[in-house]
Amino acid sequence: MTMSPKSDRELMGFAYGLLGVLIFSLTLPATRVAVSELDPVFVGLGRAIAAAGLSLILLVATRQTIPPVRFLPNFCIVVAGVVVGFPLLSAIAMRDAPASYGAVITGLLPLSTALCGVWRAGERPSLPFWIFAGLGSALVLGFALLSGSGSIRLADLALLGAVAAAGLGYAEGAVLSHRFGAWQVICWALVLSTPVLLPVVWQHAPTNVWLLSPSAVGSFLYVSIFSMFLGFFAWYQGLALGGVARVGQTQLLQPFLTILASTLFLGERLTPTTVIFAVGIIVCVALGKRTQIGTMQPQLNR
């Protein structure tokens, strides 16, 4: 049976989305290794500077046209969400929390992406969606309280902030991708952020680079080249092709992949509590994604 153009487009969207999730799933473990020897601010923001250099080369080589000034606020939202917000806050969290713990909290990423899609991508979830959204949020809060001996820690707040920032940056980037292309969006956002981030990164840069271990250097290069650069090529393309809410379902695999990577590469102990809460959160998000989602015109400058 021949697939319709719409079905073919959604299938390609899911394929790109899965590739992006696979790349992103190693971000927290790599960040945790990097911050063991590097300043979290340098890891969180320095990776954007490294990726911006690659972005500038690609934009110049392909002779891309600079986006009109009226789209500057939209690109600033992408910068705030995925260039500054998520990388910096997750790096701060990984200084004090295991990567597997962070994977459970970031299990809300697909939910955050869908919620921001309501605002920025013009999507309209039904009432059942909001019910599952509230239940999933309650599970995340319960996990944070249980793991933190009844209190919310700085790492919890940082991770929740990272989730909110990433959701907003994903949704806004998906909207911009319809006009400028998937990889062009993250490249322009990275280049745009460089003048502001460079002085901060320079201040927190390591003084004895030659004393860093290969694992710390390799981890920083991973979050710079893959997490901050190549991963967004696939992710924004997937969201643009298949829709923010639907392709966002692929993020349901991310906590499991991150937990698996943390166990294999970092030797972190996989506790039953972590697994139970991770499964519960993913079930809530999955059920929420199955609810009806309408669409309206995205809020983007013309």
- Strand-pairing partners, residue 123, are 295
Instruction: Give the pLDDT confidence score for residue 1 in this predicted structure.
Output: 45
Rounded-to-integer distance, Cα 147 and Cα 113, Å: 25
Question: Is pLDDT at 28 greater than 90 in this prediction?
Answer: yes
Rounded-to-integer distance, Cα 79 and Cα 59, Å: 17
DSSP E strand stretches across the chain? 123-125, 293-295
| Nearest alpha-carbon partner for 64 in 180, 144, 170 | 180
Pair of tokens at residue 104: 């459970």
CB 132 within 8 A of CB 49: no
Phi-psi region of 181 (alpha: psi -120 to 50; beta: other; left: phi over 0): left
Q: What share of the chain is helix, strand, coil (3-state, %, to 5)?
A: 80, 0, 20
Question: Is pLDDT at 5 greater than 70 in this prediction?
Answer: no
CB 270 within 8 A of CB 259: yes
CA distances from 122 to 11, 244, 297 (A): 21, 10, 5
pTM of the model: 0.84
- The secondary structure of 119-155, three-state, reads HHCCEEECHHHHHHHHHHHHHHHHHHHHHCCCCCCHH
| Nearest alpha-carbon partner for 255 in 82, 106, 89 | 106
CB 265 within 8 A of CB 43: no
Question: Is pLDDT at 148 greater than 70 in this prediction?
Answer: no
Question: Is pLDDT at 185 greater than 80 in this prediction?
Answer: yes
Among the listed ranges 168-172, 175-179, 279-283, which one has the minimum average pLDDT value? Answer: 279-283
Could you tell me the residue ranges of all domains in the chain?
5-123+153-202+213-268
Quick one: pLDDT band at residue 119, thresholds 50, 70, 90? low
Residues 61-118 have pLDDT tens digits of: 999 999 999 999 999 999 999 999 999 999 999 988 888 888 888 878 877 877 787 7
Question: Is pLDDT at 297 greater than 60 in this prediction?
Answer: no
Q: List all residues 6 or more positions away from 253 whose beta carbon is below 8 Å from its beta carbon.
A: 18, 21, 25
Residue 179: CB atoms within 10 A of its CB come to 17
Quick one: pLDDT band at residue 124, thresholds 50, 70, 90? low
Q: List all residues 6 or more positions away from 91 whose beta carbon is below 8 Å from its beta carbon.
A: 31, 34, 35, 40, 41, 43, 44
